[in-house]
Structures are given as structure tokens and as C-alpha cells.
Amino acid sequence: MTAFGKALSARGTSIPGLMLINLPVHGDSRGWFKENWQREKMSAAGVELPDFGPVQNNISFNDAVGTTRGIHAEPWDKYVSVATGRIFGAWVDLREGETFGAVFSAELDPSTAIFVPRGVGNSYQTLEPDTAYTYLVNDHWSPDATYTFLNLADETAAIAWPIPLADVEISEKDQKHPRLAEVVPMPPKKILVTGANGQLGRALRAEFGEHAWMEYSTRADLDLTSPDLGTARRWRDYGTIINAAAYTKVDAAETPEGRTEAWAANVTAVAGLARVAAENDLTLVHVSSDYVFNGLKDGAYLESDPVAPLGVYGQTKAAGDAIVSVVPHHYIVRTSWVIGDGANFVRTMASLAERGVSPRVVDDQIGRLSFTSDIAAAIRTLIRGTAPWGVYNVTSRGEPGTWFDIAREVFRLKGHDPERVTGLSTAEYFANSPTPVAARPANSLLDLRAAAAANLPLGDVSERLRAYLESA
């Protein structure tokens, strides 16, 4: 019998992400009414159901008591409720991980619903005649999707069916589902890393590793500027895109050809990824730059400071940031002075030191190095944690310095006389350049308080520099 007068509430279960919901049902002599799914109320604090974006509503009508269906796990989320009648529901975690095989069961009537996350097997048995079982799903069925099944009679799950399975009608297909020991677990949603051959891309590969659900792409196998990007993958199988691809030739961007390439890579491509993320409810992680600022601020830049780029490269990065900011689930990771596996300032200074060259280095730009290992670890923490969506400054921690200071420290750590490095202004350094030169922000220092509040694991810049040179 339907329970009336419940307050809307939700509680977790023994299966992570599986949530049992109490629904208010209002009735009188004429019948009853309920709000079966009410997005605003159900995603509010105190209920906190995922705003999972349903695209289809299905109803299964069952004439007889004991009708039994399942156990089916699909690559989408499900919101299950009962319109009329009553069921015994059983759910089994068929996802990869520590809770694989965990079981939860409960009775559902019109005053109760359950949110079933992707990869959790769903099954039920009707306890009353004329039971209408209804469910919302956030993807359309596809023959290309990954499905996982478990036999209703599996001995390991040992579901306590109210009516013995021998006494009920089960489809031939459901009877042939495998036992738990033979089930292929549902893999996690995929993570796509673009720009996989760059300094950050290589650090992300080291951080996340090689797994079936990790995909590392380059321009050769995925054209981010293509108008067909939206159909280049089955994007509903993905959970996160980490965009480590970018045009970073700061001075070349000031040329006609470079300007075109910079806007294509840093804006057109980003717009395509943003569209894919928004349409498929993905998390988009985008890597930004200190070059979105003009460098005139006295003190470290906050995430909320207004952008004012000085050159084409900075303009394209600022435009990309603005595009990503409207994606519902996004992280913009703002970095400066990136150092990783590839050609960079630190390696250049180390090479000059070893070759006996005494360089002149700019001494009027201040900031901190961002080691790619720190950026990659911060990104992993963001997408696996609970930090609010938005912008996060991410550099290595520690005292700021100029390029001149860093060059001298490189010389010292490599066992060479730091006095061989002399300083000069940015204007002096580029005074006789035969090619266009982009304006640089004099202050590239980024405030790291938001990163600290989000517990992003950023290393000390001095320690990172020492370790980097020892391994180079």
C-alpha cells in the first residue's frame, strides 16, 4: 500500500552512488498525486540527487505477481520508480572496483524511488498485479554501447527473492546471463587527454597511466577543429576531457600565419570541445595561462581578477577560457612558466651551463615555475574530488623569482658559477629581434589560496627544480 505524507529525502546505500529516495505522495478519495522527478527540488541541498539530465522515459507494465526481470547494467544512469503496484528491487554493483558484487535490495511503491548509477545492475520482481515500473535514463540505447549482465540466480549475490525464481516467469535471455565470476565488469567512463605528445600531455600519461578507459590523442588522430568533432567518438562513453592541446608559440602568434594557427588551436578547437562537453554532460578540464593578464597588478593574481591580455597568444587563451566557463562542469587550470619533458627554459639554461656559455637573462619578469608533474596531479585531484567547478591557479609552491633568478639557480645546482648569468630588461633582450615579439606580462605570479583550499598537491618549486635537474 502506498505510503502518504513522506517528506522528500534521499539516503545512500551499500552501493556507492545508489540512492534510495522517499517521495511525497498526496492522496484523497479520488486517488493520489506525486512529483515523480522534480529537478530543482531533488538536486537541492538535503536531497542532493545528481542532476543527471534524463533524455528518455520508459514504462514496463507487468500483469502478474512475480514477474521478474534483470539483472541489467547499462552505461547510463537510471532513475527508477513505481507508478502503480509494488516491487522488490535488487541492485548489484557490476562496476570495476572494490565494491564489485555488492548487493542492495528494497521494496518500492509509488512513494519510493531509487537512483541507479551507470554500471550498477538493476532487477525487480513484482509483488502486486498490474504493476507499472517506470524509469528515466540519460542516454539512448545504442548497439555500440557496453552492457553488463548478471544471472538472477547467482549464488554469490544470493538475492533473497520474495518469490522463488523457480515459481516465476523469467525470459529466456535473462536466464542465460552469466554468474558473477564470469561477468566482465563495467569499466569507468573514459577520460580523453588531448595534446598527449606535449610536455603536459606526457605528464598526464605518467599520472593516469595506461588503462582501457584512458585515451591519449594527438592532432594526427583527433582533429579538434573539425566540424565533425561531435560525432568523432561515442561521447556518452566519456566522463572527462582534459584539454592539454594548445598553440604556445608566443612570438610566432604575432605573425599572420601564427595568428591563424593560434586562434584555430586555442579558440576554435576549444569551442568544439566545449560543445561536446555541454551536449554530453562531460567534465571539461582546460589549461590556461598567466598570459591572460597584463602583468601590471601589484601582487599575485587571483582567479577572479579581470583578464587583459597583451598579445595574440594571451588573447586566444582568454577567449578559450571564456568559452570553457559556460560549460556546466568545467575546471580551468591556470598555469605559468611550464616545465616538463621537452624543450623549456630550465633545460636550455642547464645546457648553456654545461657548454660553458654565459647567458644574459631577463630580470624584470616575476613568477613561479609550474612543473607538469604538479599540474597533472592537481588535475587528477580536481576530477576525482569535490572541488567546486571553476578556475584554479596551479603552479608549484614557494618563493617567486625572475627568469634571471631561476637561471642562476640552475647554474648553481648543476655545479657552475651562477655569476656567469647576468641580467637585463625585457626591452633590452628583444631590442634587436628581426621577427615580431609578443609583449610579456611583467608579473606572472598566481595566487594559490584556492588551490590550497581544494587540497591540490603542489610541490615546492625549489625541490621540484632540484629533482628535475637530477633526472634530466
The DSSP secondary-structure symbol of 207 reads: H
State the Cα–Cα distance between residues 317 and 322, nearest whole angstrom. 9
Residue 360 bridge partners (DSSP): 422
**Burial class of residue 106, CB neighbours in 10 A (0-12, 13-18, 19+):** middle
Set 79, 124, 133, 135: catalytic member: 135
* b/e map 34-49, b = 16+ CB within 10 Å: bebbeeeebeeeebeb
Backbone angles phi, psi at 405, to 5 degrees: -60, -45
Which residues make beta-bridge pairs with 407? Answer: none
Examine the residue annotation and report whether 331 is marked as an active-site residue of this protein: no
- Catalytic member of 72, 177, 330, 416: 72
> Measured at the alpha carbon of residue 266, what is the angle toward residues 240 and 434, in degrees to the nearest 5?
150
3-state helix, strand, coil in the chain (%, to 5): 30, 25, 45
End-to-end, the C-alpha distance of the chain in Å comes to 71
Helix (H) or strand (E) holding 173: helix 172-175
Residue type, 348: T
Report residue 154 as a C-alpha cell. 547467482
Active site residue 313: no
What is the spatial distance between Cα 419 and Cα 266, in angstroms, rounded to a whole number?
A: 39
Backbone angle region of 280, left / alpha / beta, with phi > 0 → left and psi within -120 to 50 → alpha: alpha
285: cell is 578540464
Residues 6+ apart with CB under 8 A from 3: 25, 109, 111, 112
* Catalytically annotated residues: 72, 135
